[in-house]
Chains A and B, each alone.
Chain A
Amino acid sequence: MLKIDNLKVSLEEEEKQIIKGLSLTINSGEVHAIMGPNGSGKSTLSSVLAGKAGYTVDSGKVNFDETDLFETEVEERAALGIFMAFQYPIEIPGVGNMNFLRTALNSQRKTRGQEELNAADFLKLVREIAKDLEISDEMMRRPVNVGASGGEKKRNEILQMCLLEPRFVILDETDSGLDVDAMKLVSKGVNKFSSSSRSFLVITHYQRLLNYIVPDFVHIMVDGKIVKTGDKNLALHVEETGYKDFL
């Protein structure tokens, strides 16, 4: 599904290389976790995959199925089925959650040449998902992420994911700032959503999230490269000994 081939990425403004030759293949139905110390380039990787401005791709390539990702606009990547759950979800004052969700969903459907979803079907769909994630009507009426707690924001990200039904999901430190209950709720949403045709890239500092979202592969990223790949036990090892073995 996703094939990253010897990717090198610099910050646009500083000419400082952050990702220094990273290769990774993710197949349908797989859950990959990337762990690593601060500044190893994890978040840069997710930003580059989603298409955020401010980075220069020095070399290498990323294919999503047959599509060259770097030839594709941000919103086109979204319509192809790439979704990133933000580490810090963005507030958009004055724009109602429902409005935002419907606009996003129908924009994607339009790009894909599908018919737009009518108001009734849309409402039904959103309410079902919101109920699962214990998101109240009151919160759905609020402007996007405005006045929401950290946990609410993260749940909102998962709601967006469930609604937009992407095939490839990047969870960028989704566990940061969550208490155990919130993490369970978020993980429940993710696990319910996962299927053999969907893949996940879970970026995290800590192993604890991986108790709930169990990875098929764990990669340790240090200084812009993957230095070790293993199964879920690798994460447990890191939890015990830290990253010093890999530095």
Chain B
Amino acid sequence: MTDSYEVREVIDKETLSAVKSVGETYKYGFATDIETEYAPIGLNEDIVRLISKKNEEPSWMLEWRLKAYKRWTKLKQPDWALLKIPKIDFQDQYYYARPANMKERPKSLDEVDPKLLETYSKLGIPLTEQKKLAGVIEENYEEKPQDRKVAVDAVFDSVSVGTTFKEELKAAGVIFCSISEAIQEYPELVKKYLGSVVPISDNFFACLNSAVFSDGSFVYIPEGVKCPMELSTYFRINAENTGQFERTLIVAENNAYVSYLEGCTAPQRDESQLHAAVVELVILDDAEIKYSTVQNWFPGDENGVGGIYNFVTKRADCRGKNAKVMWTQVETGSAITWKYPSCVLKGDNSSGEFYSIAITNNMQQADTGTKMIHLGKNTNSRIVSKGISAGKAQNTYRGLVQIGGRSQNSRNFTQCDSLLIGNKCGAHTVPYIEVNNSSARAEHEATTSKVDEDQLFYCMQRGIGEEDAVALIVNGFCKEVLQALPMEFAMEAQKLVAISLEGSVG
């Protein structure tokens, strides 16, 4: 009883104290006062050329971007999601912003502007190599979980400001650096894999990203290597009226393994900001990638003013046999979330898993889910989605399970649960199931429930305050997904769940 209990116990304690300690709802809403260099406002070919030049890219990369840009000008913004999206003027924002003193790439973390380091430490992301990520283990806690190292790549607006543990990783054969650096240092790898999972013209937002992405992370795990530590990227939007377009590419060669975490925050501003990222995962024979996201972009205020518009394309390509991928996401932020991390199960016996918690409060809207595309034989997929709506928020699960004609003996299991808090919010489930092989099996289970008055009363009769009780019940509802997260993130995520539901009762 002790072990599992004690781990949870710390998490729980943290949840409760976090709720109490946070004065304002969004605690990452501060802005860093730093001189910022912008590209001219708006988007045209010159801006694309400028971004490429700023990143000192080879010509093939520029060509790639220009091709994407041309294509993008012919595409229309999709409108099929269950979202009310205010008109976005793509010419009225900046596509590139970087701290002025980042003109020269810092050679090591010692050269990074202290103001930037301070920003990250305020966010609980120490850019030093001694500490853990957002350490939440209490001093008086007896059985400390083993201190685990986490390497961090920190992306500030359009540029990567630093990557920790680079040398130690290099010794293991792992490449972990910003994508801009990878384009210069490992052009062959980037050329081979970039756009191979999410092609340039995949969709409107992915296409835009392909034209203007400024930075992001690159991970390469060579054959047979198990990455010796967790890798993570921390995205921060700081500059006003600026979109962030990051690109992440992770390649796991045969028999390789990596667990990767991604976190995001942004200052509290009245204007909405655009975030359109692309993440590509390539998984070869017997390899495995775990990709976890805790998304906490500024959600806008309670009247729906401001907030990030989050349009993200994430896809994993299980190219090899026995390839495995696991997406875990905790989506608590953003005014609008449009995101469907997907798995293409090409390799025989490959498997894809998707665990999601999406919380919307106040005026937030989310349309999120996954796509499981079964192509290989004996492929397996599992979807566990937990949607929580409070305030006047709308929360949609949208998922596609597609089993191809040649995909013999493939299996899918989908479980979709929605929880409503109050009576002004909405939950929607839109599952698409296409099975083209008679040996396949797809199961779908869905539930919708409300935070039960009797459960609240029961907790409160035992002395637990109302907001703590809601946090406890909702965390219980999300448990299956929280357990899928690496422990450092599980604790952060539990706190976030509590914080994002503040003020949703009473």
B-contacting residues of A (Cβ < 8 Å)?
A: 50-53, 73-75, 77-79, 83-84, 86, 89-96, 98-100, 102-108, 111, 118-120, 123, 137, 140-141, 143, 160, 164
Q: Which residues of A contact B455 (CB under 8 A)?
A: 90-92
Docked CA distance A79–B9 (Å)? 21
If A75-B460, A104-B459 touch, does A95 touch B476 (CB 8 Å cutoff)?
yes
Q: For residue A76, which residue of chain B has the nearest CB? A: B463
Q: Which residues of A contact B4 (CB under 8 A)?
A: 141
What are the 6 tightest A-B residue pairs by CB atom distance, in nearest-first order? A94-B476, A95-B476, A108-B463, A78-B463, A94-B479, A104-B462
Contact between B465 and A84, CB atoms less than 8 A apart: no
Docked CA distance A95–B475 (Å)? 7
Docked CA distance A124–B90 (Å)? 62
Shortest distance in angstroms between A174's beta carbon and chain B's nearest beta carbon?
Answer: 15
- Fill in one digit per residue for B113-146: 1 if any A CB lies within 8 Å of its CB, else 0: 0000000000000000000000000001110000
Q: For residue A127, which residue of chain B has the nearest CB? A: B1
Shortest distance in angstroms between B174's beta carbon and chain A's nearest beta carbon?
Answer: 36
Q: What are 19 A-B pairs at a CB distance below 8 A?
A: A74-B457, A74-B460, A74-B461, A75-B465, A75-B466, A78-B462, A86-B458, A90-B454, A92-B458, A92-B473, A98-B9, A102-B9, A103-B12, A104-B464, A107-B463, A108-B462, A119-B141, A141-B5, A143-B476
A-contacting residues of B (Cβ < 8 Å)?
A: 1-2, 4-6, 8-9, 12-13, 16, 140-142, 452-455, 457-466, 468, 472-473, 475-480
Contact between A123 and B472, CB atoms less than 8 A apart: no
Shortest distance in angstroms between B417's beta carbon and chain A's nearest beta carbon?
Answer: 10
Contact between A99 and B8, CB atoms less than 8 A apart: yes
Contact between A99 and B468, CB atoms less than 8 A apart: no
Contact between A96 and B459, CB atoms less than 8 A apart: no
Q: Which residues of B contact A73 (CB under 8 A)?
A: 460
Q: Which residues of B contact A78 (CB under 8 A)?
A: 460-463
Shortest distance in angstroms between A1's beta carbon and chain B's nearest beta carbon?
Answer: 18
Partner of A96, one of B8, B140, B142, B473: B8
Contact between A92 and B6, CB atoms less than 8 A apart: no
Q: For residue B478, which residue of chain A has the nearest CB? A: A94
Docked CA distance A91–B449 (Å)? 14
Contact between B453 and A53, CB atoms less than 8 A apart: yes
Contact between A98 and B1, CB atoms less than 8 A apart: yes
Contact between B463 and A164, CB atoms less than 8 A apart: yes
Docked CA distance A52–B479 (Å)? 28
Q: Which residues of A contact B465 (CB under 8 A)?
A: 75, 107
Q: Which residues of A contact B6 (CB under 8 A)?
A: 119
If A53-B457, A99-B9, A119-B141 touch, does A141 touch B473 (CB 8 Å cutoff)?
no
Docked CA distance A94–B419 (Å)? 13
Contact between A119 and B461, CB atoms less than 8 A apart: no
Contact between B476 and A92, CB atoms less than 8 A apart: yes
Contact between A90 and B458, CB atoms less than 8 A apart: yes
Q: Chain B: interface secondary structure?
A: helix
Q: Which residues of A contact B466 (CB under 8 A)?
A: 75
Q: For residue A141, which residue of chain B has the nearest CB? A: B1
Docked CA distance A119–B464 (Å)? 18
Shortest distance in angstroms between B300's beta carbon and chain A's nearest beta carbon?
Answer: 29
Docked CA distance A96–B475 (Å)? 11
Q: Which residues of A contact B140 (CB under 8 A)?
A: 118
Shortest distance in angstroms between A13's beta carbon and chain B's nearest beta carbon?
Answer: 13
Docked CA distance A1–B462 (Å)? 20
Docked CA distance A119–B460 (Å)? 22
Q: Which residues of B contact A93 (CB under 8 A)?
A: 476-477
Contact between A50 and B461, CB atoms less than 8 A apart: yes
Contact between B463 and A111, CB atoms less than 8 A apart: yes
Q: Which residues of A contact B16 (CB under 8 A)?
A: 103, 107
Q: Which residues of A contact B12 (CB under 8 A)?
A: 99, 102-103
Docked CA distance A89–B459 (Å)? 11
Q: Which residues of B contact A77 (CB under 8 A)?
A: 461
If A86-B458, A90-B454, A102-B12 touch, does A95 touch B473 (CB 8 Å cutoff)?
yes
Docked CA distance A75–B2 (Å)? 28
The interface centre, meaning the residue of A93, A103, A143 with most chain B CB atoms within 10 A of its CB, is A103
Docked CA distance A118–B453 (Å)? 30
Docked CA distance A166–B141 (Å)? 28
Beyond known contacts A78-B461, A78-B463, A92-B455: 10 more, CB 8 A cutoff: A50-B461, A51-B460, A75-B463, A75-B464, A77-B461, A86-B458, A90-B455, A91-B455, A102-B12, A103-B12
Docked CA distance A227–B222 (Å)? 83
The interface centre, meaning the residue of B142, B457, B479 with most chain A CB atoms within 10 A of its CB, is B457
Q: Which residues of A contact B476 (CB under 8 A)?
A: 92-95, 143
Shortest distance in angstroms between B79's beta carbon and chain A's nearest beta carbon?
Answer: 36
Q: Which residues of A contact B452 (CB under 8 A)?
A: 90
The interface centre, meaning the residue of B5, B140, B475 with most chain A CB atoms within 10 A of its CB, is B5
The interface centre, meaning the residue of A77, A92, A93 with most chain B CB atoms within 10 A of its CB, is A92
Q: Which residues of A contact B9 (CB under 8 A)?
A: 98-99, 102, 119
Docked CA distance A92–B12 (Å)? 15
Q: For residue A120, which residue of chain B has the nearest CB? A: B142
Q: Which residues of A contact B462 (CB under 8 A)?
A: 78, 100, 104, 107-108, 160, 164
Docked CA distance A133–B457 (Å)? 25
Docked CA distance A163–B478 (Å)? 27
Docked CA distance A86–B462 (Å)? 11
If A93-B476, A141-B5 touch, does A103 touch B464 (CB 8 Å cutoff)?
yes
Docked CA distance A79–B459 (Å)? 12
Partner of A119, one of B142, B453, B454: B142
The interface centre, meaning the residue of B454, B458, B480 with most chain A CB atoms within 10 A of its CB, is B458
Q: Which residues of A contact B479 (CB under 8 A)?
A: 94-95
Docked CA distance A106–B479 (Å)? 22
Q: Which residues of B contact A137 (CB under 8 A)?
A: 1
